[in-house]
Amino acid sequence: MTKKVFAVIGTGAIGGYYGARLHQSGEDVHFLFNSDFTHVRDHGLTVDSHYGDFSIPPSFLQAYSSSEAMPKADVILVAIKTTSNPLLSSLIAPIVKPNTLIVLLQNGIGAEQELSEQLNLPFVGGGLCFICSNKIGPGHIDHIDYGRLTLGVYGAEGQPLLEQVAQDFRNAGVDVDVESSIVDARWKKLLWNVPFNGLSAVLSADTKQIMQCPELVTLAKEIMQEVQAAAKALGTDLPTPLIDTMLSNTAAMKPYHTSMLLDLKNQRALERQYMYKNVLDLALAHGVTMPKTATLYQQLCFIDPATSHE
């Protein structure tokens, strides 16, 4: 069988890690870089991982500074921040072919349907990354903990190809779950992302610091309950014990700087639209109010480097 061509759009903490794992297992992977391109062209891509460190030397790294130079892809892994999604259509247009599976390895909700409508695509995949991974330098990724993927697809026609891609990841040593509904899976991830990404950014605190404060643990739980209620109103049942399980897992994990906290520290725009605004709008449209989540969103609006207070 002909080997698939994978394209990674956004080779940072997420795209770099999962793309490098696929490359390590022998897959044909092409990486799009932005500011790191010159560095990786000369020095390659390095992954420090608690599963064992590895690297892709320059001579084996298929790196590009423009998607127009990349080959047409069977699978496109999109790992750019949702704040860059207005550019997504133009980034992937040169490498899409009939039946290309696009997989959005992003946070939040609503992006699969949005991209499907924009490009008139019959299906768009989504991936939720349960991973602690940071980019600590040009072409240098620090994989701290976890790494499991949950995959799903918007558009039933894409399910067979999604199953194949899931197996490719498993062959690369990545634990993968395939959900029948990407929407259900995204609500599950939002149960953690909404409280902990926002609180970590507003408080400039890592997960350990948050979990050491009983009052913050209570607040996080109350925000999770709001997400649970919103999800239920939209047809996704998140079991109540899952909240306590997530809190316990967070308390046990190594101190972790969330992606939103890192974006704030690096003066990058925060992912407010898909992780907060879409959630609040969907909830309100279905008669659910989320006062604590709304307050957190308002605070994020104030501290967001993309927001002008002049």
pLDDT digits (tens, 9 = 90+) for 246-256: 999 999 988 99
Q: Tell whether the model's pLDDT for residue 287 goes beyond 70.
A: yes
DSSP summary character for residue 187: H
Residue 104's H or E segment, with its range, is strand 101-105
Q: Which of 22, 27, 59, 21 shows the shortest CA–CA distance to 40?
A: 59
C-beta of residue 165 within 8 angstroms of C-beta of residue 103: yes
Domain identity same for 205 and 148: no
Name the pLDDT band for 309 (thresholds 50, 70, 90): low
Query: What is the rounded (10 degree) CA torsion for 127, 175, 200, 139?
Result: -80
CA angle 151, 153, 158 (to 5 degrees): 120
Q: Domain for residue 173, yes or no?
A: yes
Top pLDDT among 191 and 181 is at 191
What is the number of structural domains in the chain? 2
Host domain of residue 268:
184-303
Is position 309 within any domain?
no
Q: Looking at the predicted structure, is the pLDDT value of residue 132 above 90?
A: no
Angle at 173 between CA 38 and CA 26, to 5 degrees: 55
Give 60-73 pLDDT, tens digit per residue. Answer: 999 999 999 999 99
- The three-class DSSP label of residue 146 is strand
Q: Which amino acid is at 128?
A: L
Residues 190 and 169 reside in one and the same domain? no
Note whether 190 and 160 are same-domain residues.
no
| Together in a domain, 293 and 201 | yes
Is 163 domain-assigned?
A: yes
Tell whether 106 and 194 lie within a shared domain: no
In a domain, 111, yes or no: yes
Give yes or no: 135 in active site.
no
pLDDT at 231 over 70: yes
Which one of 72, 189, 208, 221 is the catalytic residue?
A: 189
What is the H or E stretch that residue 154 is in?
strand 140-154
Q: Residue 99 falls within a domain, yes or no? A: yes
23 pLDDT band (50/70/90 cuts)?
A: very high
Strands 140-154 and 63-64: unpaired
Residue 310 has pLDDT above 70, yes or no: no
Task: Give the per-residue pLDDT at 181.
Answer: 82
Provide the token pair at 35. Answer: 């500011």
Do residue 81 and residue 9 come from a single domain? Answer: yes
Supply the CATH number for residue 288's domain. 1.10.1040.10
| 207 located within any domain | yes
Is 158 a domain residue?
yes
| Token pair for 89 | 């259509």
Instruction: Out of 180, 199, 224, pick the residue that ends a domain.
Output: 180
Residues 25 and 113 in one domain: yes
Which residue bears the tokens 């299906």? 123
Q: Based on the domain organization, do 163 and 242 belong to the same domain?
A: no
Contact 268, 83 (CB under 8 A): yes
Q: What is the CATH number of the domain that holds 98?
A: 3.40.50.720
Out of 149, 180, 211, pick the residue that ends a domain: 180
Ramachandran class of 235: left when φ > 0, alpha when ψ lies in -120 to 50, beta otherwise: left
pLDDT value, residue 1: 59
Whether residue 199 is found in the same domain as residue 130: no
Angstrom distance (rounded) from CA 122 to CA 262: 35
Q: Is the pLDDT of residue 84 over 80?
A: yes
Single out the residue in 129, 164, 180 at which a domain terminates: 180
Residue 258 lies in a domain: yes
Do 95 and 195 lie in one domain? The reply is no
In terms of domains, do 93 and 68 share one? yes
32/157 same-domain check: yes
